[in-house]
Structure 1
Amino acid sequence: MRIFVGIPLPEDIRERLRGLCSGLPRARWISPENLHVTLRFIGETDDAMAEDVDTALGSIRVPPFEISFSNVGFFERGRKVHTIWAGIQASDAIGQLRDKVENAVVRVGFEPEKRKFKAHVTLARLRGVPARRISEYLHVRDGFFAGPFLAERFTLFRSHLGHGGAHYEVLADYPLDAL
């Protein structure tokens, strides 16, 4: 099974983000019900390891915290933009939660994440979109802001890949509570 850890978004925030999900030809937009903040992509694993991840995540204690979105940007690979995202305002709280999730996943036996964490919500995957169109898209959405909302839980998701895109199944929810 293919799993990852993320923060689910409330309906009103997903609706605000959905307003960003148009305006680029050949973009594969993420469906609103799948919008989330990824804390750690784990990937393919078996049931036993997924259970170990669940147990490790269940021991994490972090108080609830607010999340606000403050920009739209992109990730590139080899000078080609491949992802459009909504950025999250920097906060120690989300970094603390992400670090605890990372430590839990590594303790279970997964390799440490090599990429630097950038808190975001993926809006679209791109292939072959002209740079000029991406620049125009970002310019029009400059100054985007949404939130805040109170993050009160994080989730272990299973990703089912299909022809119509991915479908995410909640395997477990973990409440954020006082330390």
Structure 2
Amino acid sequence: MPKLFFGLEIPETIKPDLLRVQKPVDGARWQNEQQLHLTLAFLGQVDEHRVALACDLARKVTAPPCELDVRGVGCFGSPDHPKILWAGVTPEQALSELQQSLAAQLISGGFKLKNQPFKPHITLSRFRARAGSVAAMLKAHENTAFGTLPVNDFVLFESTPRPEGSVYTVLERFVLAH
């Protein structure tokens, strides 16, 4: 059973700047260049016969293209005990409209979404239980501009676990209508 999620690909032009945030922090599992993405809707394990339905529903999404500014870093959890370190995106409203349209379609098709409520972000690192503090990193990068993320489409990713970290494969691309 594939593990699936819908998301945005990160342009190659901003990946190096996002990766430069990486510093030694206890418990950090840093994302590599191929793992950087922005999740719109996490489906988890999906029966093979329902993958086509997920794609059909995604084709019905109505949202205009937009452009996001990737700026600053934050964390889920406290800075002294982070769970996830992420880069932020603005404006959130345009992206939230895309996510809400996608979520509504998927829920109408009987899918249960795993990432509610939606907080748009690009995961930079996940942390194990004994995580070190990221407070200095948050302060150092609170206003760092990483670049622009044009949102002209979104994709369905399959996540395949590997010892060195998950590998994300694009199964289908969904172009946003102007």
Match of 1:145 in 2: 145
Gaps of 5+ in 1: none
Residue 32 (structure 1) shift: 1.1
> Offset at 1:82?
0.8
Instruction: Provide, for residues 91-147 of structure 1, a one-character-per-residue CA deviation record: whole Å limited to 9, x for no partner.
Output: 32111100011111111112255732111000001121233xx11221222211122
Q: Is the Cα contact below 8 Å between 1:83 and 1:126 reproduced in 2?
A: yes
Q: Could you tell me whether the CA contact under 8 Å between 2:41 and 2:113 is conserved in 1?
A: no
RMSD, aligned CA: 1.7
Is the contact between residue 49 and residue 108 of structure 1 (CA under 8 Å) also seen in structure 2? no
Residues 80, 24 of structure 1: alpha-carbon distance in 2 compared, 3 angstrom cutoff: closer
Cα distance in 2, alignment partners of residues 115 and 10 from structure 1: 25
CA distance in 1, matches of 2:31, 2:124: 5
Which segments of structure 1 move beyond 6 Å, counting only runs of 4 or more?
none
**2:10 paired with 1:2:** no
Q: Measure the CA separation in 2 of the matches of 1:63 and 1:114.
A: 22
Instruction: For residue 169 of structure 1, give the secondary structure of its aligned residue in structure 2.
Output: strand
1:14-58: CA deviations, max 9, x gaps?
Answer: 122111123423310011111111001110011111111011001
Distance in 1 between the 2:140 and 2:75 partners?
Answer: 14
- Partners of 1:21 and 1:101 lie apart in 2 by 32
TM-score of the pair, normalised by structure 2: 0.91
Equivalent position of 2:51 in the other structure: 50
Aligned residues: 175
Letter matched to residue 132 of structure 2:
P
Distance between the aligned counterparts of 1:168 and 1:64, measured in 2? 23
Structure 2 residue ranges without an equivalent (≥5): none
2:114 & 2:167 partners in 1: Cα distance? 24
Give the equivalent residue in structure 2 for 1:72: 73
Indicate the percent of aligned positions where both proteins have the same amino acid.
27
Change (3 A) 1:160 1:114: closer
Aligned to 2:131: 129
Structural mapping, 1:82-97, within 5 Å: 82-97=83-98
Contact residue 81 and residue 132 of structure 2 kept, 8 A: no
Range moving further from structure 2, 116-125 or 18-27 = 18-27
